[in-house]
Each structure stands twice: as structure tokens, then as C-alpha cells.
């Protein structure tokens, strides 16, 4: 049996945030009639990071993996406290315990992170830090040693059952896995079923021990605040602070192929860093880059295998793909060999044609929708920064609450 995994582009989580998370976006889509996640599904997620760490150690993949957990904080505005509490209640409602997600008081938050306005936080141990480039290179080395052939710089122009047409020839395969995520362009069965939203990073120069003592991250925890648009920070092994945020959208729903972002986007992410940690004033930001995350219309990820066409896919991670792709890769492997296992019974697994994934609305509807949403989020931030928890800020906050990601 020949199995070909086709991947194009250069990914988003694979070169961006470096978070290895034991969770999935949109978990509410996988709950039972009581609104809870099945215990077996919770167990898969709760053990995901430690299982991956064991695999990395076994295979000798050195990627700065550190299992320090994640602090999700109300860190800038008082209104973030309610969102933090809602997030904790959400995870507890799914059936997770205090060992999985727990509240940090403002004092406990400050002991970990010296943020501008500590209002409390949610802490989970189920996140690890990785260095994305080292992880990708290590995985490539391992699979090549197993006899897998990797073809880089090859564009797939058409993907269908048992055949992939490329700009340098064609590949025949009994089974095909489409793993293109935010780079699912024309000719791909996931085109317009997964659309690209841009994310990006800036990174500081290496910080001194004194600077780190003034900021935190003492156990190399990952960090995010409860702003409307996701942020994601980590302390790197070479003592830099990486700051990421999302989400602009290129006209026509194009993915981002260039590595560097614009200077204005970089400055926006630098301002986020300074809002969170004013101690960084005067620190140089040395690099700026970005990529495209894949967003499905359902707003939750999926594993799909069609036993008739023998085509499969895993994705729709919405920026949480490093850990999820490990779990979903395990799952696809069992489906490809026809093995029945607990993994294949998970609620995110479907056996149906790829074409049954919902399509997004035609352009420019998604672009206009995201632009309007981000403008509202930005207006709320501006009002909060200028006038605090004023009536106009609260009114804009109410409007933002109505703008769900769907």
C-alpha cells in the first residue's frame, strides 16, 4: 500500500506560535446532550502533551520542548476578568477538573507574570512550548529515516482519488491525505472549505536575567491575555520573548506565502507586548514574520476519511494545530490501515467525502466580515485605553460580544 501525504505552503503553527496544546478549538461541537465532553475524549486531550513529549524524547527530536503549562490572563483591562471567568466555567462545564483548568488570583498571576493590570488568570498544565522550526526539521529527519520520500518546492495543481497532479509531474497513490490547512488553494478539494486567516509574530532581542525577573515566565509557561483577538507569547530557549497575534485577511482569501509581515503589522504586535509588559520599553524587536491558519466554516477541527475514494484529511485547527495534528495524525493512521481503536471513535472523526465539508460564502463576504469584526475589536481596545471602563467602552464591548467567530 502506497500512502502519500500531500502538503503545500509553509504552515502557520509550524512556524509561528510554538504552542503544543492539549485542547481543540470549538470543543462545544463535540459534547453530549448534557454539554459535556466524553471522558475518553477528555482523557485524549489531557494526556496529549505528555504523550507527545515521550515521542519526541524517543525519536531524539530536540525542539526546546518544555511542558510548563499556560497562563491565560486578564492582564490589561478589568473587562477581561469576566471573559477569563467565562472561559474557566466553559472548561469546567465540559467536564474538566481543577487539575486541568484552575483559577489564579491576581497575586498568583503576578507571581508568574508581572503584567500591567493583573486581574486573575486561568492556568492549565496541558500546554508545552516548542521551537517550531526545530520540530519540523526533527520530524522530517525521523520520517526520512523510515523511508518516506519528501518532495519540497512542488506545487500540487489538482488532487483527486488515487492521483495528484503537480507542476513537476504526477503522483499515483492508493490513499491520499490532504494536509494543506490554510494553503488549500485552487485545485485542492479543501479550497473554500478551509480559508486562510493571517497570523504573525514579533520577537525581542535576548533579554537579561534581570529583565526576565521583572517580567516572569520563570517556568517557561506560555502566555495569553483575554483580548478579543488571540495573543500568544512564549519565552524561547535563547531568552527572547515571542509575541504573536492574529488576524488580518488578504483580499480574495489568499494565503500568505511571504515570510515577513509588513512594518505596520509588526508595530501593532509590538504595542500589544508593551501594553502587557511596559517593562519592555527600550527593548529591540529583531524579527517579524507570519503565516496563514486554516479556518473551516464549522469553526472546529476535523478528521475525515472516505473509505470509498480512500482520501482523508485532518485540519481546521484555527491556529491550534501543533498538538492537534499530533493527535489527528495518530487517528488518521488507524483509519488508513482499517484499524478500529478508541481514536477512531472520537467525536471529531467522520467517515464521509471531503466534499461534504461546508463551503465558505463567496468573497468578499468573509473578508468584509472579518474586517468589520477586527474594527469593532480595535475600537473597544481604543476606548478602554483612552477612557477606561466607560459607558462607550461597555457599549462597544456589548457589540463585540454579539460578533461571534461564526
pLDDT tens by residue, 337-347: 998 899 999 99
| CATH domain 1-360 topology | D-Amino Acid Oxidase; Chain A, domain 2 (3.30.9)
**Residues forming a β-bridge with 197:** 293
pLDDT digits (tens, 9 = 90+) for 193-224: 999 998 888 999 999 999 999 999 999 999 99
The rounded mean pLDDT for the chain is 91
**Residues forming a β-bridge with 203:** 242, 287
* pLDDT mean over 13-25: 83
Q: What percent of the chain has pLDDT over 70?
A: 95
Q: How many other CB atoms are found less than 10 A from the CB of residue 107? A: 9
Lowest-pLDDT choice from 135-144, 238-247, 306-315, 396-405:
396-405
CA 178 to chain CA centroid, nearest Å: 19
Q: Does 8 have pLDDT greater than 60?
A: no
The burial of 80, by beta-carbon neighbours within 10 Å (0-12 exposed, 13-18 middle, 19 or more buried), is given as: buried
Are the C-beta atoms of residues 328 and 303 closer than 8 Å to each other? yes
Count helices and strands (H / E) in the chain.
10, 18
Query: Using the 8-state DSSP alphabet, how is residue 334 labeled?
Result: H
Question: In 3-state terms, what secondary structure has residue 225?
Answer: strand
pLDDT digits (tens, 9 = 90+) for 135-146: 989 999 999 999
Q: Which residue has the cell 480512500?
A: 310
Question: In 3-state terms, what secondary structure has residue 332?
Answer: helix
Tell me the C-alpha distance between 294 and 302, whole Å: 12
Are the C-beta atoms of residues 112 and 71 closer than 8 Å to each other? yes
With CA atoms as reference, report the closest residue to 276 among 121, 113, 396, 104. Answer: 113
SS (H, E, C) 259-319: CCCCHHHHHHHHHHHHHHCHHHCCCCEEEEEEEEEEEECCCCCEEEEECCCCEEEEECCCC
Q: What are the structural domain ranges in the chain? A: 1-360, 363-406
Q: Does 47 have pLDDT greater than 50?
A: yes
Amino acid at each position: 500500500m502506497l500512502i502519500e501525504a500531500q502538503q503545500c505552503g509553509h504552515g502557520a503553527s509550524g512556524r509561528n506560535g510554538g504552542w503544543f496544546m492539549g485542547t481543540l478549538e470549538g470543543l462545544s461541537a463535540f459534547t453530549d446532550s448534557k454539554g459535556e465532553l466524553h471522558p475518553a475524549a477528555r482523557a485524549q486531550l489531557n494526556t496529549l502533551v505528555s504523550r507527545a513529549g515521550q515521542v519526541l524524547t524517543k525519536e531524539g527530536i530536540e525542539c526546546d520542548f518544555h511542558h510548563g503549562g499556560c497562563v491565560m490572563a486578564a492582564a490589561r483591562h478589568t473587562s477581561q476578568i469576566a471573559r477569563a471567568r467565562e472561559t474557566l466555567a466553559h472548561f469546567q462545564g465540559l467536564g474538566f477538573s481543577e487539575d486541568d483548568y484552575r483559577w489564579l488570583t491576581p497575586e498568583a498571576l503576578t507571581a508568574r507574570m508581572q503584567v500591567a493590570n493583573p486581574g486573575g488568570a486561568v492556568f492549565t498544565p496541558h500546554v508545552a512550548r516548542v521551537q517550531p522550526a526545530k520540530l519540523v526539521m526533527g520530524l522530517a529527519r525521523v520520517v526520512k529515516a523510515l523511508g518516506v520520500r519528501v518532495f519540497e518546492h512542488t506545487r500540487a495543481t489538482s488532487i483527486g482519488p488515487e492521483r495528484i497532479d503537480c507542476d513537476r509531474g504526477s503522483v499515483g497513490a492508493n490513499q491520499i491525505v490532504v494536509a494543506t490547512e490554510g494553503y488549500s488553494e485552487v485545485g485542492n478539494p479543501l479550497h473554500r472549505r478551509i480559508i486562510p486567516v493571517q497570523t504573525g509574530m514579533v520577537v525581542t532581542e535576548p533579554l537579561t536575567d534581570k529583565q526576565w525577573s521583572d517580567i516572569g515566565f520563570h517556568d517557561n509557561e506560555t502566555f495569553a491575555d483575554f483580548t478579543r483577538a488571540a495573543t500568544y507569547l512564549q519565552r524561547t530557549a535563547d531568552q527572547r520573548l515571542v509575541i504573536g497575534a492574529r488576524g488580518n485577511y488578504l483580499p480574495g482569501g489568499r494565503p500568505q506565502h511571504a515570510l515577513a509581515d509588513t512594518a505596520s503589522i509588526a508595530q501593532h504586535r509590538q504595542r500589544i507586548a508593551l501594553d502587557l509588559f511596559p517593562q519592555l520599553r527600550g527593548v529591540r524587536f529583531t524579527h517579524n514574520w507570519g503565516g496563514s491558519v486554516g479556518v473551516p466554516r464549522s469553526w472546529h477541527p476535523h478528521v475525515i476519511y472516505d473509505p470509498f475514494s480512500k482520501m482523508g484529511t485532518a485540519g481546521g485547527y484555527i491556529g491550534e494545530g501543533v498538538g492537534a495534528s499530533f493527535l489527528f495524525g495518530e487517528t488518521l493512521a488507524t483509519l488508513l490501515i482499517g484499524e478500529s481503536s478508541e481514536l477512531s471513535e472520537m467525536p471529531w472523526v467522520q467517515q464521509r467525502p471531503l466534499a461534504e465539508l461546508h463551503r465558505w460564502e463567496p468573497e468578499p463576504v468573509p473578508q468584509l466580515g472579518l474586517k468589520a469584526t477586527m474594527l469593532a475589536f480595535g475600537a473597544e481596545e481604543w476606548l478602554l485605553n483612552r477612557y477606561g471602563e466607560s459607558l462607550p467602552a461597555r457599549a462597544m464591548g456589548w457589540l463585540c460580544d454579539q460578533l461571534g467567530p461564526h
